[in-house]
Chain A
Amino acid sequence: MTVRTHGTSPSRPAGGQRPRAPRHGGRRGRGDRPWTDPRDLWSESLAGVLARPVRSVLTTLGTVLGIGTLVITIGVASTAANQIVGRFDALTATSVSVVAPTPPPGSLDPPLVRWTDVEAVRRLAGVESAAALSDSQNTSNVQVKANDVVAPGTVNGQTLAVVAADPALPTAVRGTVTTGRFFDTGDIGRHERVAVLGYQAARLLGIADVRDAPAVFFNGQSFTVVGILGGFRREQRLSASVILPPTTAADRMGLKQVTRVLVNTSLGAAAQVARQAPIALAPGHEERLTVLAPPDLSRARKGVEGDVNGLFLVLGLVSLVVGTIGIANVTLVTVMERVGEIGLRRALGASRRQVAAQFLAESTTIGLLGGVVGATLGVVVVVSVAGVKQWTPVLDLRLALGAPVTGALVGLLAGLYPSLRAARMEPVDALRAPS
């Protein structure tokens, strides 16, 4: 272009000295091109933003709300998910149950799982304790009385479940025998008519002490209570049941079939044990057993996050769109108000691009401001919520850093049209406007 300038002066002698060439160090230099120091662009746009502080603050509100909602939504969701997953504590994560199907009545098949098969499960790597349990529909609602004397007009006794279990049950349910003792292999071998009560069953029956060898009566028979089992941490329903030795239960209550095996594993072994236990219990028939294993933790966390996020993410995005429109609107108004200033800048040598750059920088600054404030508020809210709930706040660093960047992008996007309008203005027209 400079060449063209020279070329249009045909009368200039070739190689002739440019009369005023040294003045600005030559006209070819960048002095002849519109040029701005990035620091100037920054300070000019910052001054533009700060010139109308109230308006700028109000303009950021949409972005603040949008970014804030997004940060709060994602932050609270990840915090809550972490918390919920935290509740899947060691107990849940190590509990495996194997359920055996109940054979149809009158079936002559040998039982799928025998009481002695539990021993095979106990030998599996990662198994800490295991106990077999037997219950049935028939024995889940049994009228149990603590006194055999029938007083007319009174209903004494409670409806309780009667189950059979092997002596490992207290360990398997992580309970403790609060009074007396649990039946042992001797009791089982001798088919003793002894029973252990769950602590709630004991309370319902009014039995607090076993030193006097109290008896319970059901199914027309009497059983001596040898202990009370409390402190269940799994299989809570057993706390309201009468627990009999397997042999006794088979003889007198028809509970012959092992219906459930409770397995406790070491941490992290649950999945593996869940695969192996059915094979150990019923080799060749493992597919007929149902395994209840703890859910995969990482999958659970994602599931929770997904549940919480959906609606609020949409809400945050909507606010962000509204914020973008708000910035665009206000920047457009600002451009229209500063027509005189645009004309002046053009007169001072600003190119269209530089005028556009200034308004883009201003809207980006406003967006960035909104993003920073929104992200800050969001983080504060997430931490506060976590503090009130005594949770551990979980915040993705990418979220905290990405939110202001998102705000700046929103501002940039919002400034596109207004800055285009500013750049398109003819300096002649712009200078006519009042400054």
Chain B
Amino acid sequence: MRRKQPTPPPAGPGPAPDPDTVIRLSSLNRVFASDPPVHALRDVDLTVRRGEHLSIIGPSGSGKSTLLNTLGLLDRPTSGSYWLDGVLTNTLGDLERTALRGSRIGFVFQSFHLLPYRTVDENVMLAEVYRAPRPGRERATRAERARQALARVGLGHRFGFLPGRLSGGERQRVAIARALMGDPALLLCDEPTGNLDSENTESVLALFDRLRSQGMTLLVITHDDAVSACASRRVRIHDGRLSQECA
């Protein structure tokens, strides 16, 4: 899914990141107005390059969820700037953030968030419902592309199944197929193996490796060291501060 494009000259120093930077956070703060105020993110700086597999690990209460929500454009930072795929998101309105979220970010949740009453392929196709058709991505070919996305996660044989008939690992792979369907710049995974047993965890991690080798950018937030060990780069979050770890 990586697009081959002539790489333009780097933008140089300054706020605008170069095109191979999917995420750039600089001096990001998120303070929840309560009494006393909760400083969930403190001066977070983070850059994620295209094709990277980054894991963010931290215990609960470390600001992990806030970081995920901010990265997923579900929450707004209090200060600092967030560039997503070349777009500065801080100043965007609600509608634009929604559209950007739908077009650039593929979410993978711990609890899968599959609609139980829709078949696997309908769940995958849901990713395109809120997006305008583009050349090569017309409504008529949607089912075919959903089938391809399912095949890509190794579930081509589950076409037409209801999620309830799949194992946990298969369900998570359906959710990943749905995230891939939107052709995102970034796969944002929140504890993707949190609800899976070790065998299913293996299958999902193997899929992450395969996607990474195909050039997909992965950002996995987890508290599981085994999951984070698969990443090419690891970042630890503690008390709202990020600290780099060696890969």
Q: Give the interface of A toward B (CB within 8 A).
A: 1-2, 4-5, 8-12, 16-20, 22-25, 27, 29-37, 39-40, 44, 47, 50-52, 340-341, 343-352, 354, 426-428, 431, 434-435
Contact = CB atoms under 8 A, between A and B. Distances in A.
A9 B103 contact: no
Contact of A349 (B18, B75, B98): B98
Contact of A20 (B5, B98, B102, B134): B5
Contact of A5 (B14, B87, B103, B130): B87
Given A31-B134, A351-B99, A435-B114, 16 more contacts: A1-B96, A4-B91, A11-B11, A23-B3, A32-B96, A37-B129, A47-B117, A51-B118, A348-B107, A348-B182, A349-B103, A349-B131, A352-B94, A426-B74, A435-B109, A435-B116
Given A11-B11, A51-B117, A348-B129, A5 B98 contact: no
18 contacts: A24-B134, A25-B134, A31-B134, A32-B96, A33-B99, A341-B113, A344-B107, A345-B130, A348-B127, A348-B182, A350-B129, A351-B94, A352-B94, A354-B130, A431-B74, A435-B111, A435-B113, A435-B114
A387 B122 CA distance: 48
Contact of B132 (A5, A31, A340): A31
A18 to B, nearest CB: 7
Contacts of A25: 134-135
B51 interface: no
A1 B88 CA distance: 12
A348 B126 contact: yes
Interface in B3-42: 3, 5, 8, 11-12, 14-16, 18-19
A234 B99 CA distance: 83
Given A30-B132, A344-B113, A350 B5 contact: no
A428 B75 contact: yes
Nearest to B18: A19
Interface in B103-160: 103, 105, 107, 109, 111-118, 122, 126-127, 129-135, 139
B97 to A, nearest CB: 10
Nearest to A13: B11
A435 B14 CA distance: 41
Contact of A346 (B19, B90, B91, B98): B98
Contacts, number: 152
5 tightest CB-CB pairs across the interface, nearest first? A349-B102, A19-B19, A51-B117, A11-B14, A35-B132
A10 B132 contact: no
B101 to A, nearest CB: 6
Given A36-B130, A344-B113, A348-B130, A19 B103 contact: no
B57 to A, nearest CB: 20
Contacts of B109: 344, 431, 435
Contacts of B117: 47, 50-52
A33 B8 CA distance: 26
Given A9-B16, A20-B5, A29 B132 contact: yes
Contact of B88 (A8, A18, A36, A52): A8
Contacts of B99: 31-34, 349, 351
A18 B86 contact: yes
B101 A349 contact: yes
Nearest to B102: A349
B92 interface: yes
Contacts of A32: 96, 99-100, 103
Contact of A31 (B113, B122, B131): B131
Given A17-B8, A37-B139, A350 B98 contact: yes
B5 to A, nearest CB: 7
Task: Give the bracket for the number of chain B residues in contact with chain A.
Answer: 35 or more
Nearest to B91: A8
Contacts of A16: 8
A5 B92 contact: yes
Contacts of B112: 435
A222 B116 CA distance: 102
Contacts of B114: 435
Contacts of A19: 5, 8, 18-19, 86
A202 B11 CA distance: 123
Contacts of B91: 4-5, 8
Nearest to A347: B107
A20 B19 contact: yes
**Candidate in A9, A19, A37, A435 with the most chain B CB atoms within 10 angstroms:** A19
B162 to A, nearest CB: 11
A31 B103 contact: yes
A42 to B, nearest CB: 11
B246 interface: no
**Candidate in A29, A37, A426 with the most chain B CB atoms within 10 angstroms:** A37
Contacts of B93: 1
A11 B98 contact: no
B3 A11 contact: no
A9 to B, nearest CB: 5
Contacts of A33: 95, 99, 132
A30 B105 CA distance: 17
Nearest to A48: B117
A44 B122 CA distance: 10
Contact of A11 (B15, B19, B94): B15
B77 interface: no
A47 B102 CA distance: 21
Given A1-B92, A25-B135, A36 B129 contact: yes
Contacts of A12: 11, 16
B16 A431 contact: no
Contacts of A10: 14-15
B72 interface: yes
A337 B64 CA distance: 27
B18 to A, nearest CB: 7
B95 A9 contact: no
B85 interface: yes
A171 B18 CA distance: 110
A341 B96 contact: no
Contacts of B86: 18-20
A31 B1 CA distance: 18
Contacts of A35: 130-132
